[in-house]
Amino acid sequence: MPKRIVVAVTGASGAAYARRLLECLALGGAEVHLVISPYGRRLFADELDIADPSPAALVGHKLASAITSHPYRDVGDQLASGSFLTDAMIVCPCSSNTLGEIASGLGDNLISRAAAVHLKESRRLILAPREMPVSQIELENMLRVSRAGGIICPASPGFYMRPAGVDDLVDFVVGKLLDLVGVPHQLNTRWKSDTAGNQHLHESE
């Protein structure tokens, strides 16, 4: 059975993360259920020039069939019910506002409601905040989500893979998210310890 993954996109900068995540989930054979907030839609327009972020516009027609879009305001949607079985939910990028909603247990839109469902059903919920710096309020909200069973996975790419460009940095974060939900990928994100690498580290110390 394919993994059934809910993906939510909110207004924190990082549209490239969201698009690449959707593409890789589809390539990995997942069944994807997508919810985009109003500011998430603006994000795609501002950062990727995608005015209408339909599945086809985001990942192309060949992969679009793997993605089902759901309306942000419809809290009566199937994603709002624990009876709709899922494997995980990823909020990427996760704005501080959405983080606060989830940490407070609010459910007045489909993103926060679906997140609440994942927590109450003890299913994997992953939030990928990107905004920086963070206040004590945001840190406390992250802690509340973590204590409730969620995973905080900041969009903080590593550099030990020696990225050659922005795409490599995006892939690093997306690869971590895919690992957390158990979807296979071929992204170059694995640490490989070798003699040359160790020598490089020693010389830089």
pLDDT of 199 strictly over 90: no
Residue 165's pLDDT band (boundaries 50, 70, 90)?
Answer: very high
Domain at 4-204, CATH class? alpha beta
pLDDT of 41 strictly over 50: yes
Domain boundaries in the chain? Answer: 4-204
50-54, 114-118, 196-200: range with lowest mean pLDDT: 196-200
DSSP for 147-204, written as a single string: HTT-EE------STT---SHHHHHHHHHHHHHHHHT-----S------HHHHHHHHHH
Q: Look up the pTM and report it.
A: 0.93
Instruction: Kindly give the residue spans of alpha helices, DSSP state H, lying in the chain.
Output: 15-27, 38-48, 55-59, 61-64, 96-103, 110-120, 136-147, 166-181, 195-204
pLDDT tens digit sequence for 120-161: 999 999 999 999 999 999 999 999 999 999 999 999 999 998
